[in-house]
């Protein structure tokens, strides 16, 4: 029997995930939000009833773009998580994709790369060989990670950014849209420009 999916969240990101699951011929049970709610997206019911957490046959996906919110939800709810991978993606058979991750249309993931938990690889992003992308990261549309790049937990790589081979980017960083990253970036940094320069560092 095919396992159903439930999405935690009901915004625009959820709409994209719904369409990925539909194309993959997955059953969608409902969408969940943290409040009383009586509506739907497309033909799918939105529920605020916490008893949905007791349905053991569900695979969950957190349909929320904010990286820190996704992490908080996993710490609050011990659920069974699936993945959503658009059929148009090009993913190496030697890549590893972990639970909770969503991979949007047109994404490429090349050989020997590890994509961690609860990650968003957004539309047409490119992840080359031997990269390591840590949990709760968001790689935005058309961003490129060249070979051997490391991305730390919770980092957001902006749309169209490029990270050159072998660079390490720390945890909970923000890489601005269109930036070109040519050297390592420490934890909690905000980087913009070409070449990328640190404009803020929140050393926590």
- Cβ 132 vs Cβ 115: under 8 Å: no
Alpha-carbon distance of 74 to 78, in angstroms, equals 6
Sign of CA dihedral 61, 65, 70, 73: negative
Q: How many CB atoms lie within 10 A of CB 93?
A: 5
How far apart CA 125 and CA 104 sit, in angstroms, is 9
Report the distance separating Cα 88 and Cα 136, nearest Å: 23
Note whether 156 and 171 are within 8 A (CB).
no
CA atoms of 190 and 94, how far apart (whole Å): 32
Residues marked as catalytic: 129
């Amino acid at each position: 029997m095919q396992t159903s999916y439930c999405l935690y969240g009901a915004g625009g990101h959820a709409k994209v995930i719904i369409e990925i699951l539909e194309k993959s011929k997955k059953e969608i049970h409902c969408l969940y939000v943290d409040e009383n709610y009586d509506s739907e997206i497309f033909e799918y019911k939105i529920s605020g009833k916490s008893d949905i957490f007791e349905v053991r046959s569900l695979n969950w996906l957190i349909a929320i773009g904010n990286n820190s919110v996704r992490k908080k939800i996993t710490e609050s709810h011990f659920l069974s998580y699936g993945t959503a991978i658009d059929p148009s993606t090009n993913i190496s058979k030697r890549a590893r994709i972990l639970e909770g991750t969503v991979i949007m249309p047109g994404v490429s993931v090349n050989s020997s790369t590890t994509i961690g938990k609860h990650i968003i690889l957004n539309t047409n992003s490119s992840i080359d060989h031997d990269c390591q992308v840590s949990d709760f990261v968001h790689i935005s549309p058309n961003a490129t990670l060249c070979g051997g790049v490391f991305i730390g937990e919770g980092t957001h790589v902006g749309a169209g950014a490029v990270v050159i081979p072998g660079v390490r980017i720390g945890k909970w960083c923000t890489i601005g849209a269109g930036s070109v990253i040519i050297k390592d970036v420490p934890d909690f940094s905000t980087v913009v420009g070409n070449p990328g320069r640190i404009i803020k560092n929140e050393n926590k």
